[in-house]
Chain A
């Protein structure tokens, strides 16, 4: 009997060992693919035609939708910065999702808003009640502010989609800071390949520690907190590199809700954002793939690596935990909802590569990570494995992981080199090391919690976000809205 138990234990340890080899190798492959894409992007920047696009009368106009819930602290600066984006024709629709703070009052005061009777079509369903629509007095109609009862982010976005007057819709978080050419970059693929491009995501980087002047990131710095520094490295590896790699493979299934552009007609056809998931941004993209594959369309969902949207990352463990539980819950919900697409050849690379990858290497990764923390000591204690195996395991799981992070930093340095200070780069390297000691393990616990919550159908809660803002260090507590269902 003991031999059987030892055999099982040994087998489990070897399986986890193999899993980490595969996981880190998959990251490395994505980084290599991303580096090929970056090289292509940089070599072609000289003839990308951004200026031509800016001057062209036929450039597709964009509606920028900004859902806002209790964003009084920064909403005026955010909208001001968005109005200054470099793009020939665009409008901004701010959807105040029943804020209990002074979000709307600040907007009204600053932009001299007046109420207009506006018919809100119901091309995509929304569950709340639109209270009023406002525009700036006597100015060109570049800004619309909608007040509605609280219904959650997805609902606010759906109201924005209904009010959007332009063929492209860009979804941006109210606390995001966009690079001046960000809109040109994410909308450009629609002009270059209008028949096929269905959606385009932009990269999101961490703004904590950066110097922001007049709604622009003017000096990129590493954050002061090690917790956020680790997230900077994580964003580089997991978002910038991984999504660019997936874009190269034609398998983008996540476009961040903080910065992405979609064809409005397609959003209407698929019914807009789903109300029944907390990961509404990724779910939208998966549903878009589902719809377009079912229709047999030749289409592309792509990701551009530069310029970027800057967002504030959680600076406390509590908020980080809430965010990661939510993210993982979102992955679990999406994979459950669209489980018939996974391993289904009907959905091409999405069904056979991208979604299985998300199932095996995203959803299950924290389970395996936690399992390793139990199985490895247990195996050592029971003599199922020896010390040689244990240190090899540690090197594969953590050493290889560190290598992946360092390669990501290297690629960042070669391609975009956004962190000009030596000290910042050194902090990035150190953050890549310390990520493996505690951060990963705690994160895994939260992620497991999030996934289990999704499968148990517990109500989803967005938690509390402490915003420090970009120019001030005084914390502003922002309660974010809970989403019904789940």
Chain B
């Protein structure tokens, strides 16, 4: 047995020396590569900065003419700019990328075997805001790799084409769905064009879909969907969905949301929903919410009384008057935040 260990120990010593040498080789290699890349990227980086300084009006030919190896060295900087620029400068830089054949290569890479290449391609197409790529990126919403799906969602949001809304919603109804928060953000980025689809999806059998659509509608300010959202608030089987409905009705600030939210304040509705309704009534900004909120200042549930007090504070003079009529910890806390010293510290 120990003969075997003798060999093992020799191997061990070899690996020890090899590892130490490896550290040196890696470090030297990185420095050499870094210097070479920096030298290659120096010219293109200057050209990129000049291009951006001119708002993309001049210098695109210089960027298109950069040799491939130098462009590859400057690519991280170019991609960084692509993600940050807006307006004409962005369009001009996109045009440079298109002329260099980046879109064509990325479209091909969407079908690559490597998940990293697929994700990079989707990311680039999203940064290029290439609408022609939407159908193919939509296919990645069901990709076998979770991270590719995540990148596809973000890319579709960046492109902002409402035609992708339904595919995005459908991708929430999978066994391993795309992340809800990212989907919400992407749907919001698709803008008002997605409202009809989102509103229709409030009847979707999957609770996650309904919750995402409620959030997106709320962030979009889709006042036309108030009655549908109110119906979800009243009738949905899932508590989290009803809470989302209450929150987003408050966010919309529409008159039609008032009564459904007031109706949700009292038992037998679950406490989480009652607290969300109390908070939403404060967001709504309707003075008519003062009496029902004031009636909950002494609620036995901490969160409901707390939310009611702070909502009354946000409702201005009528709400403040209601707070002054009561004397409990929640009212004192809410009133204290009205002192000039503390305005903003909320």
Task: Identify the A interface with B (CB < 8 A).
Answer: 43-44, 46-47, 49, 51-52, 56-60, 114, 116-119, 121, 135-141, 191-195, 388-389, 392, 395-396, 399-400, 402-403, 406-407, 409-410, 413-414, 417, 422, 425, 429
Contacts and interface: CB of A to CB of B under 8 A. Distances in A.
B264 to A, nearest CB: 20
Interface string B133-162: 000000000000011001100100110000
Given A413-B23, A429-B20, A114 B219 contact: no
A137 B337 CA distance: 11
A140 B83 CA distance: 29
A116 B116 CA distance: 51
Nearest to A120: B329
A191 B170 CA distance: 19
- List the 6 closest pairs (A to B, CB-CB), nearest first: A47-B123, A135-B345, A406-B19, A119-B329, A141-B345, A117-B332
A277 B198 CA distance: 49
A38 to B, nearest CB: 13
A47 B184 CA distance: 19
B91 interface: no
A56 B185 contact: yes
Contacts of A403: 12, 15-16, 19
A138 B345 contact: yes
Contacts of B9: 392, 395, 399
Contact of A141 (B5, B302, B344): B344
5 contacts: A52-B154, A119-B330, A192-B182, A402-B16, A406-B20
B23 A47 contact: no
Nearest to A429: B20
A116 B333 contact: yes
Most buried by B among A46, A121, A409: A46
B47 to A, nearest CB: 22
A59 B5 CA distance: 55
Given A392-B9, A399-B9, A410-B19, A417 B219 contact: no
Contact of B341 (A57, A138, A417): A138
B2 A44 contact: no
Contacts of B5: 392, 396
Interface in B258-304: 302-303
Given A47-B119, A116-B333, A139 B182 contact: no
Nearest to B84: A51
A425 B27 contact: yes
B12 A138 contact: no
Contacts of B23: 406, 409-410, 413, 425, 429
A422 B145 CA distance: 39
A242 B27 CA distance: 23
Contacts of B119: 44, 47
Nearest to B80: A51
Given A119-B329, A400-B12, A407 B19 contact: yes
A414 B28 CA distance: 11
Nearest to B333: A117
Given A121-B302, A388-B2, A406-B20, A395 B26 contact: no
B16 A399 contact: yes
B342 interface: yes
Contact of B342 (A137, A193, A396): A137
B197 to A, nearest CB: 18
Contacts of B16: 399, 402-403, 406
B332 A138 contact: no
Interface in B331-346: 332-333, 336-337, 340-346
B30 A116 contact: no
Interface in B28-44: 30
Nearest to A386: B2
B322 interface: no
Contacts of A137: 341-342, 345
A137 B342 CA distance: 6
A425 to B, nearest CB: 6
B345 A136 contact: yes
B79 interface: yes
Most buried by B among A402, A409, A410: A410
Contacts of A49: 150-151, 154
Given A388-B2, A389-B2, A400-B12, A114 B30 contact: no
A32 to B, nearest CB: 13
Nearest to A121: B302
B152 to A, nearest CB: 10
A417 B215 CA distance: 42
A410 B22 contact: yes
Contacts of B150: 49, 192
Given A137-B342, A403-B19, A425-B23, A47 B188 contact: no
A407 B337 CA distance: 56
B238 interface: no
Contacts of B15: 403
A402 B16 CA distance: 8
A414 B346 CA distance: 46
A116 B343 contact: no
A17 to B, nearest CB: 9
Contacts of B316: none
Contacts of A46: 76, 79, 120, 123
